[in-house]
Amino acid sequence: MPKVLVTHQLPGEQVHQLPDHCDMNVWMGPGLLPASSLRDELTDCEGLLCLLTDRIDEALLDANPQLRFIASMSVGVDHIDVKAATARGIAVGNTPGVLVETTADASFALLLAAARRLVEADHFVRGGHWRVENAWSPEFFTGKDVAGATLGIVGLGEVGQAVARRAAGFGMKVLAWNRSARNVPGVEMVELDDLLADSDFVSINVALGEETRNLIDARRLGLMKRDAVLVNTARGGIVDEVALAEALSHDRLAAAGLDVFEREPVPDDHPLLSLPNVVATPHIGSATLATREKMADMAALNMLAALGNEKMPNCVNPEVYQS
């Protein structure tokens, strides 16, 4: 039976079908499979079921020439060198669509939390600072109105469109920029610079790639309103984090809600973490029990198809099946 590595214990039902079709080795922890151990654990494996925290680069592929297929429990595959995998005839599967609504919920949760300074207020109460002498004042933790404001969505894919639907419930005007033309009711397509200049809130929902790396750089941050709020639940490399910290710390931007960072886990000394106007979460955009189970099931179904010498139901490089 072909040997397969699963880099983490997974939820869902379909993963339990894999041992009937392969010799399955599951990393049991503790914690995540270290990058230094991945190469050794992958020895002689034909298949790999990985997480977005597993870096699958060309060197790893060269060290494991017997590898035939990779299934990732993620929508994004920027942690995998897909070009190198394709050149070696390795099919790469992902889990699209399943986390759309969950991630859109997270985007809007961060937007509201940053706008209304909820984390600051929570720390204020828990820190014992809310006392009789400062119980209330007209300027007490004043934030920014969401209802009726203008929301700019950078990336009008499935998640971006789901964010737009939520914005409609708040009576927001919705602008959007996308790399290809989209016609979405209630959404006005504009150029990126115009979106940044005109929006009260900006939600980043575009995929990370060479075209979008540092898409929101110092120049584009400088186009935004001083009282605007930036939210990112896509990938950290899309926003220049040094420039973002500069803007937030010098009152050139009101607040940010960030679920993703260029380096994850984010370093303790990252300048964004010291700012009170940043709401930071640890890449939990898809973190509901139901969504994670569906993602694991989709990844396992990709593996089962590959083990049966069939095309993965969700394959990001289908050209490997044409050779």
What's the one-letter identity of residue 80? I
What are phi and psi for residue 251, nearest 5 degrees?
A: 60, 30
The radius of gyration of the chain from alpha carbons, rounded to an integer in Å, stands at 22
Using the CB atoms, write b or e for 184-198: b if 16+ within 10 Å: beebeebebeebbbb
Contacts 24+ apart (CB under 8 A), 118-125: 118/279, 119/279, 120/276, 120/277
Parallel, antiparallel, or unpaired: how do β-strands 229-232 and 201-204 relate?
A: parallel
Q: Are 177 and 191 within 8 A, CB to CB?
A: yes
Strand ranges of the sheet holding 255-258, from the earlier edge strand across to the other edge: 187-189, 173-177, 150-154, 201-204, 229-232, 255-258, 278-280
Cα of 131 vs its chain's centroid, Å: 39
242, containing H or E segment = helix 241-249
Distance, CA of 45 to CA of 68 (rounded, Å)? 8
Residue closest to 234 by CA, chosen among 210, 255, 204, 262: 204
Distance, CA of 80 to CA of 60 (rounded, Å)? 10
- Could you list the active site residues? 235, 264, 283
Residue closest to 18 by CA, chosen among 258, 253, 303, 212: 303
122's tokens = 């929570």
Distance, CA of 55 to CA of 36 (rounded, Å)? 10
